Amino acid sequence: MTNNINDGPVSLFVGNHRASSITDFIDLILYDLREIGKAPILSNELLNNNTNVIIENFDRDIVSKIKSSFSKNDRRLIMIATEVVKDGLLDSASPAPDEVVAGWYDAKSDVWLERTNNFFEIVDYFAHIICVSEEIYQSLVPLNLNAKILYWKPRFTGQKQVLSGGDESFKSFWINQNVKNTKIHQLMFSGSLTPYRDQQINELVGSGRTVLQCPQDTPQNVRYQFSLQSGLSFGPKHYRSTIQMSKMRLLWCLNNFFPVVMQKCSGVTDLDQYCVFYKDVEDLLEKCADMNSTYLECLNKNLQFCRDTELTSSPFKEIFS
């Protein structure tokens, strides 16, 4: 095995997730690696002679494999960190004490305690950790880990030719994509359900709106077609107390040129300036009632995102430089 990771192959390890549930991450990682001249492969195994990019979620088998085949601070191991560390636990979205809890989001449930223990048992083996949100980055830096902690800035990775014709050409493309298809549903929600999200969906349906629910593990091509057939995507918070919005949902819509509104969270992100926000269900209904204005605002923010971030560098460029 070479000491220089630039000289070896790169694999994206997907054996610890259902591939359909991490399609967003897979697409972005492959895009970034190919952009810097790598030819990454997907793998269900950790490969000793490769640099392994691993989206966080470790079970005992993975922990054992890493410990037996790699060393601490191993440059062959790059982690994509997807969870906030809070009070010593992985906890990105658990509710406040006075909110109704859905099992998956209870940070003190057995699944999260095990996931936390595995994370801390194996984290010292990684030379680089890439954080997908500011909140995750800010929670990992104070831990003084041996790994180099990097923040993955959101960037435009969509069809670059759409920008080449100028602003008016972009606007024409965006409008054409989002009005020419038959809209079966007025609203679309993509993601995992919590009691808080379920409450919002029920209120919208009760107000006469049609809502398409798209599970979090829906394949990309299916989600794309669902988006074409829906008037507006919306992203409610996990819980009333959730601090930071689900940036990956917003990023996917921006890169695929779909109108989207996200529920405002208290935490500030670097995507806020490119996002149309809603406060509550009543505010969302008002935006649906004036869809022309909502579309125009989404279009302009989408264009600004593409222009501002098309030259943003990938963290992989720093790692492999």
CA-based torsion, 126, 255, 22, 187: positive or negative: positive
150-203 per-position pLDDT tens digit: 999 999 999 999 999 999 999 999 999 999 989 999 999 999 899 999 999 999
Q: Longest C-alpha distance within the chain, in Å?
A: 62
Contact 52, 77 (CB under 8 A): yes
Residues paired with residue 212 on neighbouring β-strands, in sequence order: 188
Note the helical H segments in the chain.
23-35, 60-69, 110-122, 134-140, 161-164, 167-179, 195-206, 220-228, 247-256, 281-289, 291-309, 315-319
Q: Is 138 within 8 Å of 86 (Cβ atoms)?
A: no
The reported pTM is: 0.93
pLDDT in tens, the chain (321 residues): 444 666 789 999 998 988 778 888 999 999 999 999 999 999 999 999 999 999 999 999 999 999 999 999 999 999 999 999 998 999 877 788 888 776 667 777 888 899 999 999 999 999 999 999 999 999 999 999 999 999 999 999 999 999 999 999 999 999 999 999 899 999 999 998 999 999 999 999 999 999 999 998 898 899 999 999 999 999 999 999 998 898 999 999 999 999 999 999 999 999 999 999 999 999 999 999 999 999 999 999 999 999 999 999 999 999 998
The DSSP code sequence of 100-111 is ---GGG-TTSHH
Note whether 259 and 298 are within 8 A (CB). yes
Q: How far apart are the C-alpha atoms of 227 and 259, rounded to whole Å? A: 9
- Class of the CATH domain delimited by 5-152: alpha beta
* DSSP code string of 212-223: EEE-TT--HHHH
The tokens for 6 are 């630039």
Determine phi and psi for 148, rounding to 5 degrees. -80, 125
Q: Which two tokens stand for residue 96?
A: 């406040």
Strand partners, 53: 12, 78
What CATH number should be reported for the domain whose range is 161-309? 3.40.50
d(CA 288, CA 291): 5
Sign of CA dihedral 13, 19, 22, 25: positive
Give dist(CA 68, CA 27) in Å, integer.
Answer: 30
Q: Do residues 306 and 159 make contact, with C-beta atoms less than 8 angstroms apart?
A: no
Same fold, 5-152 and 161-309: yes
Q: What pLDDT score was predicted for residue 95?
A: 82
Distance between CA 107 and CA 212 in Å, rounded? 28
Residue 18, pLDDT score: 82
For the chain, which residues make up each domain, given as ranges? 5-152, 161-309
Length of the chain: 321
